[in-house]
Structure 1
Amino acid sequence: MAVDELIMPRLRRLDRIAVGDRSQAVAGAASGSVTSLLEGSELVLRMLSMLLAMLATSAFLITDADGGRSEWVLWLQIVVESLLAVCLWRLLRYLPERADRGTLTAVAAISVLVLSLLWEPVQRVLLGSGRPFEMMMMHSQKNLMLLLAAAGQRGGMRLSVFIGAVLCIFSSAITRDPRAWLSTALFAVTALSWLVAAYWSGLRPRMLRDSDSRMPLRWALAGPLCGLVLLAAAGGAGPQVISTIRGYLPGSGGDGEYDEFSRGGVNDGDALVAGLDDIRSFGAIEDAPFAESDRPSLYDVINDAFDEPVRRNKTTQRAVALPPELMASLQQRLSSVQEAGREFSTHRRHSSSRKARARSISSATLISVSGRVPLHLRMELYDLFDGRDWQALPEPAESLRFSTCDHAGKPWIRIPASWRGLHFESYSDYHIVTPLGLKSPIIPAPADARALHIDRVDQPDMFAWHQEGIVRMVRDSLEPQAAIHLRSEVADPQKLRRNPGLHFETTRSAECRLLPGGAGMERIGRLAAEWAGGLPRGMAQVDEICRRLREGYVLDRDVLPDETSELPVEDFLFQLKRGPEYLFATSAVVMLRSLGYTARLVSGFYANPQNYDARKRKTLVRAEDSHFWCEVFVGGGTWATLEPSPGYALLEPPPTLGQRIVAFLRWCYRRALRHWLLVLTGTVLLPVVWVQRRWVQCGVLTLLWRVFPGRGARERVLRAARLVDSRLRLAGLARPPHVSPARWLEHLSLLDVVAVRRVLRLAEAAMYGGGAEFAGVVQESELSVLNAAMLRELRFGGLRRLARERQDG
């Protein structure tokens, strides 16, 4: 009995110890499993957040491209942005534990937003491209979404998913691309799994301590699979239920205010008219009604702009000395051209009423041009010249057939280009030419037009050749206010001059090499040889002739040669040295022909950049913009456009990225010189502010606290406590999230901070006690004294020294 009484209590005690050990072991195992489970659910949540951000990015980038980028460029952009987000996510894992992730994320988010918005004007200046307002804003939100998803903060991930949902809804509403809809559908299905993971990771260990649960991965995966099955089942059946909102957003086109970088429309909504009361009022429309009017023809406009030609007696003999072998065919040609009235005389009479007539027609807009300017619009070509009159080219003998092609769902008429073979073009340009007050079937187009489109015109037999390279419609005149879309090639002057295939020889166009005889023409030939004699044959001589005319002569439409002159171009070159454009162009052609080149005269219209209407984004072409220039044959069936008149320029390819950067730097340099005092002050102050940014930020926060201390004692105490926390953080003594302000102050071992301790104790009472309980604890007068003492005790310089000592220690 004694042994039992001695042993049994010990056995019971050992049993209780064993049971306690087993309970602790089980509790430890359960706690470890819960911790690992929560960590796993957090990882799944981050991965799903990244996946949602990538899907939303894909939907937005597809919508932003709007068919304007190639497939591989689009998918390369999607892959690159996704990889950057993943790399950022992986790099943030190596961030030190003591780093304040919340502050870093907030600073990075603000920086991304600001830089995304600042990039837009830089992109427009340097790259010549941009986004409409709503796409610019959504682009910045897309960048913010990727950053927040990569950061992995709980609040940031929720905001990232919300932004992704907004992006997907936005993209689905304004696009018709099924790939964007597919990305949106996948986003919606994956978001269900994200909600499950977010709920699971939000559970606390105390809720799982006595339960045996696990992450419902099967349900998380079942959601996307069910959604994909439903999407596949509904993909090819039933009517299309997703519609596109066009014209609702400011950059989507429509009939409201235009946006220079809009995604749709013709950017002239504010210039459109209904065409009910007066259909001749200004405004380009696609299906314009037809109205008979007194619109002038090309030769009417030329006669109004450059005076009437001098009427000669029929018995007066022309000053033409052409080769006898071509005389018979050319005589027949001249007769047919004269009957049609398609000739231009360089012998114009002085008319006192021309200025008044020019003023009366100056407001009459003949053509409107949308696109890059300056632009030469060809209307007529001239080859034969007898010293006074130019004769227009006939229709081409070899009739090249037009054909149709589809582009963006619209029929385009392809213009045959058999006479262009050197390929010195470097840029494909796009213009919209709208005839308004011009009566002519000829389509005003640049020299290297490749294709044209007129709404509801898809039959090639509605077009014919007017001359070589000039197209006309098979009707009396073009439909007024009907937009003509043109695609053309822009010649690169550098490529043209470096092209080894230029030989300037041709067996065709013999008429473009003929010159009249006489002493005056010989004198002009000697002048041309003097100007270009020291240069090699080719574009160097051609450019020199044009340069001498532009720099040595004055453009003046009011100065004309004498009416009795037999060779007006001779009087212009050697006596007047000033005159209208047709004398500049005629002189260039005659001088080039005297040097053995094949050249011809061109008349048409000049879209002047000075007439550009920035509000309507159109260049208005009036009667006074009728113009003459010339072309030279360079080989390979190719004619190069020349501009010998001063004050006029040829359309060149858009500047390259390097040229845009240089132009932007020059602009910055000029602005800096203009505002040198401001630039000098900023150059001195900005580095100082950056080095002392913590002092500046502390001063700003203190000033705001003094100006807005709060209403009531409780709010004033809480704001004072937040100021203490901010000062410690800026000084490098940031408080960990799990430590209270009072405990952190004790940990720092700060002496003589009685007022600060008092403020922090009051703050704890204000945070954890009710408003009624806090009332009466402190008076307003005591708070004022405490606040002043708090600023003296927590001087920012002393806090900075303490932070450095802690780092050195």
Structure 2
Amino acid sequence: MLPLRFYVESRPWFLAEFGTLLALFIAVELVKTFGAGSGRSKLMMSSATTLLAITPILFAFFARSFGSPIAFEMSTLSAFGSVSLAVAIAAKTDRTRAMSLVASGFLVLFATSISEHSQAVWIAVAWMSVCVWHLVANHWEKLDVCLPDSVRPTVGVRPASVLIAVVLCIAGGLAVRNHVGPANRMTNGVMPTSGGSKWSDPAARSGVGSGDAAIAAKDHAESFGAVESEIFLESTESSLFDMVNEMIGEPKQKMKWDRRQAMGNENLIPMHDQAAKSEKGGSSFSTDRMPPKKHRQFEDAKENAVIQWDGPTGIRLAMQRFDTFDGVDWTNSADRSNDKLSQREIDQNVWFFDPKLESRALSDSDLVTVNLLKVLRLDSTRFPAPMMTAGLHIKDVNRQDFFGIEHDGSLFMPERDKIPPLTVVNLASTQVMEDELWDRLPDCQTKLDASEQPTSDSTQHPYQQLQDIVAQLRTEFTFDRNTPTQTDNPVEEFLQTRRGSDHLFATVAALRAREIGLQSRLVTGFYVPPDAYDISAGHANITPDDIHFWVEVKLDDGRWFELEPTPGYQQPVYTPSLWLSTKRFAAAHWMHGLLMVALGVVTYLTRLIWIDWLLTAVWSLSLLLPSRKQLGIAMRIVETRASLIGKARPTGKPQRDWLEALVVRDLQMRDHVQQFCDVADQATFGKPAPIDRRRLNSLVRALNTKQLKSMTNETMA
């Protein structure tokens, strides 16, 4: 159940539930070991076992009451597993234990069958391997109970049996591979949390809708889910650049004396109001802007969402890019309008890929993430897309002329006024590993004037210099969209006041990246804030307040990765490979590593001493146990000590004969051993009788590893 629940549920509730199960299991085992026999211990054990069985059900009620619902089927399966564990603990007969094993096997196979992960089958293979190992071990234990003169099992029987079982499982899986059709989601759903048109549950995390009849996008056309419909609604909402103007202010009007036309003040407000309908976007972006005006119509996030995003939060969705800066205005000089998207059919779905990213997306599917974007009120033909978006897919659309690549590389729908509202788009984006940022940034030299002060060490790696630039902006500058510019050079003013809007943070970061010899560009789009995610609906509502600016830097293979210089926004996550993480850990903790190696060597060389101490401590704690268990622990301690010096008891040899052979040359110890064996035989096969703890204690402490080693050497001599 761990893989099915760990990554999708509330982490605190999940850890609390399984921590409670673990604590109850340990409590039951402690009571069984140290308190068996008394009425109070039986009551405690039965209470803990019952609580162990119903813990998942209790947590399901509590979690749902506190706003973190657990899927009904997940709670049911967890309860099934906890009940099978409780049955195994409370079992008195082999038949009951077998029923617990069958129940756990059903749980493993069922969880494997409903999992969508391609590697989930290995859980079932591992479980079957453990079962085969248990059966083989149980076979030899039964032979050992019969006390034959000697039992000499073949060394490779047990591993060979498990290996054959694993091979058979793999062969069976390969035999049915590609002979079973793909899994299809049921329209009506199977359980409340599986989605569908007939169910609705706040714990649902997949399915075909988020409410009744959402699949048709008719009764509640604005509900979000895997709703891909041909129904398009008309909209008169703002375009992207209207939102930019409302969030960070209008561009300043430059007063040119060669050509001027007077404009009355009464036109200022009407022009601002009409911008939402008239301005479609431009080919430039000015950094010199007026303070933003407050608009009451953008206070309600849910009612004013322009797009909805079903994917990770804390990321950026780019819409337009600018690569040329003249000191005040950003423009775009790149031209990718002649590039055509390539059409491919994947799993009976038509996808359209960017030719520059297609090969990477198709060659390594593990680095590709597919998310859903739903357009509500976005008056633009451009698709808001994550970094390195390689392709897109819209249900039932297979015409290549529906999509294109803008001059700056953004994906868009040509020959339209805007993307039709309620269009659901599948966006496939490729991930970039941190290793690539260290390997694929071109070698560069810092380009600074003599009067400028470097912001980072020019001898460092370019990626390290970028990190220093971002860190300085995020720590030494203040993000404030209400700060007006007083001069005609907003960038210089921003560097002096160290306060400004996010477009100035992005501009300075882009310019400093160019100073160290890298290609950079300004990006405008949306930020997906973590608090915008609606748990019950399963998506994030993106509003005009989420307009944002950031920077992209070019790698040597033509791809662009993003940087986040503005404080208050989550930085992009570039996951290092295992090799890079290992090297970093070794570099940061090499001294600790040397100490650990030295400690390991000392621990290994002194293993006989400290293991003997631990065994002695265990024997001291056994004072509270019944006499029969004390005898068993004493025998196990002696056998463990003998195994440490290479004199383990041969399989099938009686314990009395083995002990007497160990102390054959020590008459005093031989008498103690004979008395110990007599008491053990009496406790095992006869009427239980009190034991002499003092005499038993002297035997256990006398037969330590040092004494056994000296006795063995004398015997060999």
Find the counterpart in structure 2 of residue 220 from structure 1: none
Q: Deviations over 1:567-614 (max 9, x none)?
A: 21111112x321111111111122222333211111001001122223
Find the counterpart in structure 1 of residue 484 from structure 2: 560
Q: How far has the Cα of 1:272 moved from its partner? A: 4.6
Find the partner of 1:377 among 295, 317, 331.
317
Contact 2:458 2:516 in 1 (8 A): no
Find the counterpart in structure 2 of residue 300 from structure 1: 242
Report the residue type matching 1:570 in the other structure.
E
SS state at 1:310 partner: coil
Find the partner of 1:355 among 273, 279, 294.
294
Contact 1:555 1:581 in 2 (8 A): yes
Find the counterpart in structure 2 of residue 291 from structure 1: 233
Q: Runs of 4+ in structure 1 displaced over 6 angstroms?
A: 105-112, 114-120, 142-152, 164-177, 242-245, 281-284, 314-317, 419-426, 654-659, 691-695, 730-734
Find the counterpart in structure 1 of residue 374 from structure 2: 434
Report the residue type matching 1:606 in the other structure.
Y
Q: Deviations over 1:403-438 (max 9, x none)?
A: 22324x544333333499899998543422211111
CA distance in 1, matches of 2:575, 2:287: 36
Report the residue type matching 2:388 in the other structure.
D
Contact 1:377 1:604 in 2 (8 A): yes
**Shift in alpha-carbon separation, 1:403–1:106, aligned structure 2, 3 A:** farther
Find the counterpart in structure 2 of residue 550 from structure 1: 474
Q: How far has the Cα of 1:312 moved from its partner? A: 2.9
Structure 2 residue 171 is matched with structure 1 residue 247: no
Contact 1:286 1:483 in 2 (8 A): yes
SS state at 2:232 partner: coil
Find the counterpart in structure 2 of residue 342 from structure 1: 283
**Shift in alpha-carbon separation, 1:161–1:382, aligned structure 2, 3 A:** closer
**Shift in alpha-carbon separation, 1:160–1:567, aligned structure 2, 3 A:** same
CA distance in 2, matches of 1:637, 1:301: 31
Report the residue type matching 1:558 in the other structure.
N
Report the residue type matching 2:353 in the other structure.
R
CA distance in 2, matches of 1:425, 1:175: 19
CA distance in 2, matches of 1:449, 1:402: 14
Report the residue type matching 1:406 in the other structure.
I
CA distance in 2, matches of 1:339, 1:480: 16
Find the counterpart in structure 1 of residue 34 from structure 2: none
Contact 1:426 1:653 in 2 (8 A): no
Report the residue type matching 2:428 in the other structure.
R
CA distance in 2, matches of 1:170, 1:346: 58
Contact 1:426 1:491 in 2 (8 A): no
Q: Deviations over 1:641-683 (max 9, x none)?
A: 1111111123326799999xx9xxxxxxxxxxxxxxxxxxxxx
Within 5 Å, give how 1:385-784 maps onto structure 2: 385-393=325-333, 395-396=335-336, 399-407=339-347, 410-418=349-357, 427-476=367-416, 477-493=418-434, 495-497=435-437, 499-503=438-442, 529-533=453-457, 535-562=459-486, 565-574=487-496, 576-652=497-573
Find the counterpart in structure 2 of residue 218 from structure 1: none
Report the residue type matching 1:542 in the other structure.
L
**Shift in alpha-carbon separation, 1:64–1:503, aligned structure 2, 3 A:** closer
Contact 2:337 2:405 in 1 (8 A): no
Alpha-carbon RMSD across the aligned residues, in angstroms, is 5.7
CA distance in 2, matches of 1:345, 1:424: 39
CA distance in 1, matches of 2:525, 2:233: 24
Find the counterpart in structure 2 of residue 18 from structure 1: none
CA distance in 2, matches of 1:158, 1:530: 72
Q: How far has the Cα of 1:447 moved from its partner? A: 1.3
Contact 1:581 1:629 in 2 (8 A): yes
**Shift in alpha-carbon separation, 1:384–1:138, aligned structure 2, 3 A:** same
Report the residue type matching 1:300 in the other structure.
D
**Shift in alpha-carbon separation, 1:266–1:305, aligned structure 2, 3 A:** farther
Deviates more, 1:361-370 or 1:597-606: 361-370
Within 5 Å, give how 1:70-469 maps onto structure 2: 132-135=71-74, 137-138=76-77, 141=80, 153=93, 155-156=95-96, 159=99, 247-255=189-197, 256-258=199-201, 262=205, 264-265=206-207, 268-269=210-211, 272=214, 276=218, 279=221, 285-287=227-229, 289-313=231-255, 341-350=282-291, 354-356=293-295, 359=298, 364-393=304-333, 395-396=335-336, 399-407=339-347, 410-418=349-357, 427-469=367-409
Find the counterpart in structure 2 of residue 39 from structure 1: none
> Which protein shows a greater Rg?
1
SS state at 1:134 partner: helix
Contact 1:434 1:484 in 2 (8 A): yes
Q: How far has the Cα of 1:559 moved from its partner? A: 0.4
Report the residue type matching 2:429 in the other structure.
S
Contact 1:430 1:488 in 2 (8 A): yes
TM, length-normalised to structure 2: 0.53
Q: Deviations over 1:48-88 (max 9, x none)?
A: xxxxxxxxxxxx99x989xx9xxxxxxxxxxxxxxxxxxxx
Find the counterpart in structure 1 of residue 275 from structure 2: none
CA distance in 2, matches of 1:308, 1:583: 15
**Shift in alpha-carbon separation, 1:243–1:253, aligned structure 2, 3 A:** closer
**Shift in alpha-carbon separation, 1:131–1:398, aligned structure 2, 3 A:** farther
Contact 2:444 2:516 in 1 (8 A): no
Structure with the higher fraction of residues in helix conformation? 1
Q: Any stretches of 5+ residues in structure 2 without a counterpart?
A: 9-36, 61-68, 125-183, 260-278, 586-619, 630-685, 694-717
SS state at 1:491 partner: coil
CA distance in 1, matches of 2:185, 2:556: 53
**Shift in alpha-carbon separation, 1:454–1:379, aligned structure 2, 3 A:** same
Q: How far has the Cα of 1:254 moved from its partner? A: 2.0
Contact 1:599 1:630 in 2 (8 A): yes
Contact 1:260 1:267 in 2 (8 A): no
Q: How far has the Cα of 1:344 moved from its partner? A: 1.0
Q: How far has the Cα of 1:561 moved from its partner? A: 0.8
Q: How far has the Cα of 1:380 moved from its partner? A: 0.3
Report the residue type matching 2:252 in the other structure.
V
Q: How far has the Cα of 1:485 moved from its partner? A: 2.2
SS state at 1:532 partner: coil
Q: Any stretches of 5+ residues in structure 1 without a counterpart?
A: 1-59, 69-98, 121-129, 184-241, 318-337, 507-512, 516-521, 663-690, 696-729, 735-801
CA distance in 1, matches of 2:191, 2:203: 14
Contact 2:341 2:405 in 1 (8 A): no
CA distance in 2, matches of 1:295, 1:374: 25
Contact 1:380 1:604 in 2 (8 A): yes
Contact 1:342 1:391 in 2 (8 A): yes
Q: Deviations over 1:336-362 (max 9, x none)?
A: xx99732111121346xx113674686
Find the counterpart in structure 1 of residue 679 from structure 2: none
**Shift in alpha-carbon separation, 1:577–1:153, aligned structure 2, 3 A:** same
Report the residue type matching 1:485 in the other structure.
N
Between Structure 1 and Structure 2, how many residues are aligned? 471
CA distance in 2, matches of 1:421, 1:585: 28
**Shift in alpha-carbon separation, 1:365–1:804, aligned structure 2, 3 A:** farther
CA distance in 1, matches of 2:689, 2:451: 87
CA distance in 2, matches of 1:532, 1:693: 64
